[in-house]
Amino acid sequence: MLKTIRIKHSELENHLYPNLYRFKKKIKEFSARDDITSFSLGDKGVIKVLTDGEHAGQVFVESGAKFIKNSAVKRYVISEYDGFYITHEKNNLLQRSQLELHDVLFTTIGKYLGVSAVVNESLVGANINQNVVRLRIDNSLVSPQYLSLYLNSKVARYQIDTLFTGNTHPILTYPKIKSLKVFIKDKTIHDEITTNIILAEKYALDGLKNIDKAREELVKSLDIDFTKIPNKLNYRIKQSDIKNNDIITPEYYRPLYVNTIEAIKEKHDWKTLGSVASFKSGDEVGSGNYKLYLDKQENDVSFIRTTDILNYEVDRYPDFYVENEIYQNLDQAIEPNEILFSKDGKIGLVALTTKSDKCIVGSGILRIIADTNKIDPYYLFTALSVKQIGLYQAKQRTVIASTLPHLRMDRISDFIIPLVPNQDNIINLAKKGFELKEKSKQLIDKSRKLLDDSLEL
- Are 444 and 76 spatial neighbours (Cβ–Cβ below 8 Å)? yes
Share of the chain above pLDDT 90, in %: 76
Measured from the Cβ of residue 427, the count of other Cβ atoms closer than 10 Å reads 19
User: Residue 237: what pLDDT?
Assistant: 83
User: Residue 21: what pLDDT?
Assistant: 65
Instruction: For residue 3, name the pLDDT band (cuts at 50, 70, 90).
Output: low
Average pLDDT in the 337-360 region?
95
- Average pLDDT value over all residues in the chain: 92
- Using N-to-C axis directions, what is the helix angle for 423-454 and 377-385, rounded to 10°? 90
Average pLDDT in the 139-149 region?
97
User: Residue 245: what pLDDT?
Assistant: 76
Sign of the Cα torsion 264, 270, 271, 276 reads negative
Instruction: For residue 1, name the pLDDT band (cuts at 50, 70, 90).
Output: very low
**Of 22-36, 212-226, 279-293, 330-344, minimum mean pLDDT range:** 22-36
**Full set of structural domains in the chain with CATH:** 9-184 (3.90.220.20), 207-433 (3.90.220.20)
Query: Residue 237 phi/psi, 5° resolution?
Result: -120, 135
User: Residue 166: what pLDDT?
Assistant: 57
Average pLDDT in the 147-166 region?
87
Judged by DSSP in three states, 374 sits in: coil
User: Residue 241: what pLDDT?
Assistant: 74
Average pLDDT in the 335-362 region?
95
Task: Check residues 43 and 8 and name the one with the higher pLDDT.
Answer: 43
Task: Check residues 232 and 435 and name the one with the higher pLDDT.
Answer: 435
Q: For residue 200, how far is the Cα from the chain centroid?
A: 16
Q: What angle do CA 353, 204, 80 make, to 5 degrees?
A: 90
Judged by DSSP in three states, 400 sits in: strand
Residue 246 has pLDDT above 90, yes or no: no
Query: Residue 147 phi/psi, 5° resolution?
Result: -60, -45
Contacts of 182 (CB under 8 A, 6+ apart): 38, 39, 40, 41, 142, 147, 150, 156
Average pLDDT in the 53-60 region?
93
Query: The pTM is what?
Result: 0.91
Q: Which residues pair with 37 in a beta bridge?
A: 184
For 286-307, letters b (16+ CB in 10 Å) and e give: eeeeebebeebeeebbbbbbbb
Amino acid found at 34? D
For the stretch 287-318, pLDDT in tens is: 899 998 878 888 999 999 999 999 999 999 99
- Are 402 and 379 spatial neighbours (Cβ–Cβ below 8 Å)? no
User: Residue 9: what pLDDT?
Assistant: 63
Q: What is the Cα–Cα distance from 79 to 305, expressed in whole angstroms?
A: 15
User: Residue 110: what pLDDT?
Assistant: 79
Instruction: For residue 59, name the pLDDT band (cuts at 50, 70, 90).
Output: very high
DSSP-derived letter for residue 124 is T
Q: What is the Cα–Cα distance from 57 to 67, expressed in whole angstroms?
A: 12
User: Nearest CA to 341 among 388, 269, 394, 399?
Assistant: 394
User: Nearest CA to 273 among 398, 176, 192, 390?
Assistant: 390
Residue 5 has pLDDT above 60, yes or no: yes
- Are 365 and 340 spatial neighbours (Cβ–Cβ below 8 Å)? yes
DSSP-derived letter for residue 103 is P
User: Residue 170: what pLDDT?
Assistant: 85
Average pLDDT in the 365-374 region?
97
User: Residue 11: what pLDDT?
Assistant: 65
